[in-house]
C-alpha cells in the first residue's frame, strides 16, 4: 500500500509576505519610481496571451492570482508575473522594440532569407496591426513556468534584473512600487527593511551549488563565486586560498554579503548578510577538523586528502559565515 504525503498549500498571505521581503531586499520605495514602477494586484479570471517562437500562448487563472508588472519608465522593457498557489505560475520578460539585428522582431533568424522589400512590407503591416490594437507592440524575450509560486516570485525579480534592468544599466533601487486596493497591502511591512528569513536562507544553502561572496575588507567589494560547506548542524564554511577560489582580503574580513544560486541556473536563490569568523592554521585543531569536511565536499581534489589539507594550512583561510537575523 502506497502512502501519499500531503503538502501544505501556500497561501496568498504567505506569498504577499515573501513579496514584501523581496521589495525590502531590493530597496524598492513606495510610489512611482524615477526609473520604473512595479505594479502589484490580486485578481481572479485573469487571461494573458503572448507569442514566443512563432507560437501563441494563453494563460488563464480563474482563482485569485497575484499579478506583478515591472515597467521601465520609457516602456522599452517590462516583466510580468502571474503568481498562483493553485496552478503553475508564469514569469515573462518583454521589450517594446526588437533589436535591429532581429529584423521584423521574429525570434527565429528567418529574415535573412527575405528581400528588403518583403521585410519593409512586413514591418508596415505589423505597425498597422499594432496601431489598430489587433496585436500587441511587444516581443517576448524569455518566459518560464514554475510549479512553486515562491520560486516564481524570486525568479520574477531575477528575470527583471537580467533581461530588463541590465539592458539599460538600471538597478531595482531606481524603481518604486504601487499596489492596487485588491491586494490589501496595508498589513505588509516593506518600507522598513524586513529581517532575513532564516528558513529561506537554509533552503537556499541546501538547494544551491555555489554562492557569491563579497567581504567588507575588500575595497572593491568584488563578489567571488565559491563552493561551500553547509553542515548538518547548520554551520556555513567557505575556503579561500585555492587558485580557483580566492576571496580578496579574506583573512581581514568581519562581514560578508552572500548570494546563493539555484543549482544549474544563473539565477539568485536568496541573499543575506553574515558575520565572518576567520579560521587560520594558527587554530590548527579546528582548521584540520573543518578542512576534513571541506575536502570530502570538494568535487575535484588533486592528490590525497592529507596533502590537500596541508596545502590549505599553508596557503588558505577558512571563513565561517554566520547569517544575521
Number of domains in the chain: 2
Tell me if 85 is assigned to some domain.
Answer: yes
- Quote the pLDDT of residue 129: 56
204 with 179: CB under 8 angstroms? no
- Quote the pLDDT of residue 281: 87
Tell me the residue range of the domain where 311 lies: 198-323
* Listed residue (217, 210, 219, 238) closest to 322, CA to CA: 238
Give the Cα separation of 77 and 80 in Å (integer): 11
What global pTM score does this model have? Answer: 0.54
- Quote the pLDDT of residue 263: 62
Tell me if 124 is assigned to some domain.
Answer: no
- Quote the pLDDT of residue 105: 42
31 with 176: CB under 8 angstroms? yes
Q: Which residue blocks in the chain are alpha helix, DSSP H?
A: 12-25, 116-131, 149-159, 198-206, 284-297, 305-315
* Listed residue (58, 35, 65, 273) closest to 156, CA to CA: 65
pLDDT tens sequence across 291-320: 999 988 876 656 678 888 888 998 899 999
Question: Is 178 found in the same domain as 36?
Answer: yes
Where residue 246 sits, what CATH number does that domain have? 2.30.110.10
pLDDT tens sequence across 148-199: 999 999 999 999 999 999 889 999 999 999 999 888 887 665 544 444 567 7
Question: Is 170 found in the same domain as 74?
Answer: yes
Give the Cα separation of 121 and 257 in Å (integer): 53
Q: Which has the minimum average pLDDT: 38-52, 75-89, 263-277?
A: 263-277
Give the Cα separation of 145 and 159 in Å (integer): 12
Share of the chain above pLDDT 90, in %: 40
Instruction: Assess whether pLDDT exceeds 50 at residue 7.
Output: no
Question: Is 294 found in the same domain as 183?
Answer: no
pLDDT tens sequence across 200-250: 788 888 878 788 999 999 988 888 989 899 988 888 999 998 878 899 999
Count of Cβ atoms closer than 10 Å to residue 162 Cβ:
18
Instruction: Assess whether pLDDT exceeds 80 at residue 99.
Output: no
> Hey, what's the cell of 143?
518566459
Instruction: Assess whether pLDDT exceeds 80 at residue 268.
Output: no
Tell me if 108 is assigned to some domain.
Answer: no
Amino acid at each position: 500500500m502506497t502512502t501519499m504525503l500531503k503538502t501544505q498549500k501556500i497561501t496568498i498571505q504567505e506569498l504577499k509576505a515573501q513579496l514584501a521581503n523581496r521589495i525590502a531586499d531590493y530597496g524598492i520605495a513606495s510610489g512611482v519610481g524615477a526609473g520604473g514602477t512595479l505594479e502589484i494586484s490580486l485578481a481572479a479570471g485573469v487571461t494573458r496571451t503572448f507569442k514566443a517562437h512563432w507560437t501563441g500562448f494563453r494563460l488563464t487563472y480563474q482563482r485569485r492570482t497575484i499579478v506583478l508588472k515591472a515597467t521601465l519608465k520609457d516602456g522599452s522593457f517590462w516583466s510580468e508575473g502571474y503568481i498562483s498557489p493553485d496552478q503553475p505560475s508564469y514569469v515573462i520578460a518583454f521589450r517594446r522594440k526588437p533589436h535591429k539585428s532581429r529584423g521584423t522582431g521574429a525570434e527565429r533568424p528567418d529574415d535573412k532569407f527575405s528581400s528588403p522589400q518583403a521585410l519593409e512590407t512586413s514591418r508596415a503591416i505589423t505597425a498597422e496591426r499594432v496601431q489598430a490594437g489587433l496585436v500587441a507592440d511587444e516581443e517576448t524575450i524569455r518566459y518560464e513556468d514554475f510549479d512553486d509560486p515562491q520560486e516564481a516570485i524570486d525568479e520574477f525579480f531575477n528575470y527583471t534584473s537580467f533581461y530588463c534592468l541590465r539592458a539599460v544599466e538600471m538597478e531595482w533601487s531606481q524603481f518604486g512600487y504601487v499596489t492596487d486596493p485588491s491586494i490589501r497591502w496595508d498589513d505588509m511591512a516593506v518600507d522598513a527593511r524586513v529581517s532575513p528569513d532564516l528558513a529561506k536562507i537554509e533552503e537556499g544553502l541546501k538547494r544551491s551549488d555555489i554562492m557569491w561572496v563579497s567581504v567588507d575588507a575588500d575595497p572593491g567589494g568584488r563578489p567571488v563565486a565559491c563552493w561551500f560547506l553547509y553542515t548538518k548542524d547548520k554551520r556555513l564554511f567557505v575556503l579561500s586560498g585555492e587558485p580557483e577560489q580566492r576571496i580578496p582580503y579574506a583573512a581581514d574580513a568581519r562581514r560578508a554579503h552572500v548570494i546563493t544560486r539555484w543549482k544549474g541556473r544563473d539565477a539568485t536563490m536568496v541573499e543575506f548578510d553574515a558575520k565572518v569568523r576567520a579560521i587560520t592554521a594558527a587554530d590548527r585543531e579546528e582548521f584540520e577538523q573543518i578542512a576534513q569536511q571541506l575536502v570530502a565536499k570538494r568535487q575535484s581534489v588533486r592528490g590525497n586528502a592529507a596533502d590537500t589539507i596541508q596545502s590549505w594550512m599553508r596557503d588558505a583561510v577558512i571563513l565561517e559565515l554566520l547569517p544575521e537575523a
